[in-house]
Amino acid sequence: MGEMVSFTGNGGTSEGYLAIPSGGAASPAVIVIQDWWGLVPHVRAVVDRFAEAGFVALAPDFRHGGPASKPSEPRQMLNSTQMDEAATDIAAAAEYLANRPEVAGKVGCAGFCAGASLALWSGTFSERIVATAGFYPRLPWEGMRTGAADNAGRTDWAGYAGKAALIHCSEADGLSAADGVQSVRRAIETAGGTCQTYDYPGTAHAFFNEDRPEHFDQRAAATAWARTLELFRAKLG
């Protein structure tokens, strides 16, 4: 359904997988942030699903060279990720989408695992991004300090004023009671945004990923998807 496109980011050219709804009407947009495996078929399928649901969707390729092929590669990639470059790529993707003729309305951002942390973080540094959804985020993630920060070097969440976030929590990650989830929720709400957390009891990390049958939970995935669409339809319109 989609295609690879190029856009300007980090002073050069970035690539991503783009899908556009059929029908020709201008639509809101969603950025999809990959998990640490890269721009794998599962992530492309999520982009296609957002397009089928009526959103122009784009998954930037943070690996800049294809998905991981060995189990050791994802963690190496994650550990070497420069947060300022990731933030620039996401902000550039938001600008690219906002300026496409097929887009009308606002921009949301959804992500998975490490990408969920980036998606939630994106509301702090991009004015374009007004709603975020994180599926089983890896929180806290040291290094998310680009842009305004307090004296301790922590992220300034003030950019979330008037914005909305949604966090889907697996039992394997400690559900919504996990310290990282609670700290982000409090920070967003203190900044004047809203943050809804949902627990999915009995689920493993990556419960949304159909390509990982050992973790996939069909009922939880369907519920999380419906809640995400509800948020984006309400906020991006």
Q: Which pLDDT tens digit goes with each residue over 59-94? A: 999 865 555 445 544 455 555 456 778 888 999 999
Secondary element (H or E) of residue 57: strand 56-60
Superfamily grouping for domain 3-236 = Alpha/Beta hydrolase fold, catalytic domain (3.40.50.1820)
Core vs surface per residue 64-76: b (16+ CB within 10 A) or e: beebbeeeeebee
Six-digit token string for 195: 């943050």
3-state secondary structure of 219: helix
- In the beta sheet, which residues pair with residue 194? 164
pTM above 0.85, yes or no: yes
| Tens-place pLDDT, residues 146-205 | 444 443 346 789 999 999 999 999 999 999 999 889 999 999 999 999 999 999 999 999
Distance in angstroms (rounded) separating the CA atoms of residues 166 and 176:
11
